[in-house]
Amino acid sequence: MEQKKEEEVLRLIISKAWEDINFRKSLVSDPIKAIENLTGAKIVLPEGKTLVINDQTDKSKVYVNIPSEPNIDDIELTEDQLEIIAGGGQAIWRDLVNSLFPTLKDYIIV
């Protein structure tokens, strides 16, 4: 599926979950079935993978997802990134944290 169509499907899933509490519940309990029923698209995950949907619509909570650790052996850094790391720079970590937790930084006071 081309990227534009994938984005349209994701927008459809999210907007439907926002407006339909029953769909949201089914999306959390059985995401593959809920998505396939809504979109007609077939969901095929790699062997050993599962799809987890978390309902983060409660505005009284701040949600943080802990991403899986990257496989360092598969990461290729640019020369600039290598220089920053070699020099002890924290810019890469700051950029990573800001992209993963954009709203959390609003609540951290150092």
Answer whether residue 1 shows pLDDT above 80: no
Stretch among 44-48, 52-56, 69-73, 86-90 having the lowest mean pLDDT:
86-90
If one compares 34 and 9, the residue with the highest pLDDT of the two is 34
Which sequence spans correspond to the domains of the chain?
A: 1-61, 72-107
pLDDT(27) > 90: yes
Angle at 70 between CA 34 and CA 61, to 5 degrees: 50
Closest-CA residue to 24 (of 55, 63, 60): 55
Q: Mean per-residue pLDDT for 20-27?
A: 96
pLDDT tens digits, one per residue of 40-59? 888 888 899 899 999 999 99
